[in-house]
Amino acid sequence: MSHWKSSRRGLLAQGALVSVAGLAGAVRVADAAAQSKNVELILTFCKAGQDRDVEKQMTFIDEDSSYHNMPDAEPVVGRAAIRALFTSYVTTTEASEIKVLAIAETSSGRVLNERVDRFRVKGGKWIDCPVMNAAEIENGKIKKWRDYYDAAFVNKQMS
């Protein structure tokens, strides 16, 4: 394991280098050629979310996909409901930033990512939401999306 990309430390370093550039909004990947299609899909999906491009995001969602913000009791299921959720994010905020801090893919193809989602609410205040996510992908589409975050932490910032 002399090559840094094949070592555990190298893989961790590679994941840690994945980030979203601040003002430019471009997703930067340490070594884009080394990223899997699933990881690239998730990074592109996150970039579309930051760009507030609901139509682009919807290209990654199947008719029977589910999107679950884990503090909520039930997942949002189906394209129409997921589109409504994404649209609500755009209409209730003024700006978005999605910073991918780390990303990894399991042997089964599930993509895990640690992010900080930031939203500027009406009036200019920024709300930070640290998130851990698990995404299941089938045939190039997100089938299940689960965001784990502390709703109390987010709500406290909004008061």
Greater model confidence, 5 or 41: 41
So what CATH class is 4-158? alpha beta
Task: Encode pLDDT of 83-134 as tens digits.
Answer: 999 999 999 999 999 999 999 999 999 999 999 999 999 889 999 999 999 9
pLDDT band at residue 73, thresholds of 50, 70 and 90?
confident
Extents of the domains making up the chain: 4-158
| pTM (predicted TM-score) | 0.78
Q: How far apart (Å, rounded) are the C-alpha atoms in residues 16 and 69?
A: 24
The CA-atom distances, in angstroms, between 58 and each of 15, 67, 150 are: 26, 12, 26
Query: Over pLDDT 90: what percentage of the chain?
Result: 74
pLDDT at 99: 96
pLDDT band at residue 15, thresholds of 50, 70 and 90?
very low
